[in-house]
Amino acid sequence: MAPETEKHLVKYLLNEASAEDLDALSDWILVDSNEQIFETFVRSHYETTTTMNEPDTDKIKKVLKRRMMKDNILLRRRKIPSLMKYAAVGLVFLALGYFVQRNQTMGNHSDRLVRKQEAITITFDNGTIENLDPLSNRKLKDSHGNIIGNQERSKLTYRESDAPSSEGNNSKNLVYNTLKVPYGKRFDVILSDGTHVFLNSGTSLRYPVQFLKESDRTVFLTGEAYFDVAKDKGHPFTVNADELEIEVLGTKFNVSHYPEDKYSSTVLVEGSVELHKKRKNEKSAGGTILKPGFKAEWGKTGKTISIEKVDTEMYTAWLQDQLIFRNTPFRKIRQALERKYNVNITNMNKDLDVQLFDATFDIETIEEVLESISKSYAIDYSIKDNEVIIN
């Protein structure tokens, strides 16, 4: 290891790194050949600064790399001098003992956080509700005892051949199921036409058990979902999001339509979609065409659609259990954290809600996220049961 690199790393471990130190380390750690050098250095450093005989270097390395990655994990307030920005990063990277004695240094905040558990549910056509255990495998049966799908852990698959033929479901009637995924959980469903739908936390999807050959394919969404639509030129696929309808033939796109949000968004990854406003149960004659790499945003108050080019990975990162924010108000960030971690966050600091941040969260626990926010913005918070209160 070059003396200059060792100097940067030591200063970083001692929480004394400058902006220049962090920039240099961020580039250095990305080089594969530095993996072994890094591990050897960390092991040697820990063996001389702690009483542990076998420090968990894999865990230490993972955490250190994650902390050093540019734009990763930590909230960075927009439009502040770079030295202040990196100083905030340094504050969150605690002393060496943090990694060795993490349970002792997390403090009382995490000890009192109790997250409520809610089940993933499916509602059948007759109103019967069943819980779906994401760790189980089972045959899914309707109210008549007919097998309509297979559950394989966190994925439910419908097949056209599985559709029941009974008096309660003839070929001329659409029979609907509704999947409801609570905060803190996710679930997948493959519809009878082969369309794969990934449901994010706090989402409800109503869909036909079997699509009819003489009808278009329509599903009803509240929340957020990523659609990988099976191509069928003769039967357009439509996502109904209250006053907005998204129509496709075969494509990949993300729809976010949470009731509490002022806007509903559609981000197109592949293919093409056409958005229609609904008026008195009839969609508008002229639709808005969306191209790959663009986002359409529907204003629920003004009833208008705006289009902008975006980085689609930001909007589909939740599929890999990530949350990515760029130039985002804290209000939207805390709402996303509530959904992902199934906690309530009450913010008494109204100025904080409108501040713009960059942030990336992936494998952190909610406790780690809260500590990061607290250190980077110097906020004070308390926890009572399942509620986080920012003072």
Model pTM above 0.75: no
Host H or E run for residue 231: none
Segment 212-240 mean pLDDT: 93
Confidence tier at 257 by pLDDT (50, 70, 90) = very high
Contacts (Cβ under 8 Å, ≥6 apart) of 339? 183, 184, 200, 201, 202, 258
Confidence tier at 165 by pLDDT (50, 70, 90) = very low
Domain ranges of the chain: 3-105, 321-390
Contacts (Cβ under 8 Å, ≥6 apart) of 57? 39, 42, 43, 46
What is the pLDDT at residue 305?
92
d(CA 390, CA 29): 35
Confidence tier at 239 by pLDDT (50, 70, 90) = very high
Segment 84-112 mean pLDDT: 36
243, HSE (Cβ side, Cα atoms, 13 Å):
14
Segment 80-103 mean pLDDT: 32
For the cut 50, the answer to whether the pLDDT of residue 331 exceeds it is: yes
Confidence tier at 380 by pLDDT (50, 70, 90) = confident
For the cut 80, the answer to whether the pLDDT of residue 141 exceeds it is: yes
What is the pLDDT at residue 70?
36
**Crossing angle of helices 366-377/82-92, nearest 10°?**
140
What is the pLDDT at residue 128?
93
Host H or E run for residue 6: helix 3-13
For the cut 70, the answer to whether the pLDDT of residue 357 exceeds it is: yes
For the cut 90, the answer to whether the pLDDT of residue 160 exceeds it is: no
φ/ψ bin of 106: left (φ > 0), alpha (ψ from -120 to 50), beta (otherwise): alpha
Instruction: Tell me the residue type at 200.
Output: N
pLDDT higher for 285 or 297? Answer: 297
Furthest C-alpha separation in the chain: 80
For the cut 90, the answer to whether the pLDDT of residue 336 exceeds it is: yes
Segment 321-340 mean pLDDT: 92
What is the pLDDT at residue 169?
47
**pLDDT digits 0-9 by tens, 9-47:** 777 666 566 656 766 776 777 676 776 677 677 666 655
92, HSE (Cβ side, Cα atoms, 13 Å):
28
Which CATH number among 3.40.50.11740, 3.55.50.30, 3.40.50.150, 1.10.287.1770 corresponds to the domain 321-390?
A: 3.55.50.30
Segment 345-354 mean pLDDT: 89
CB atoms within 10 A of CB 174: 14
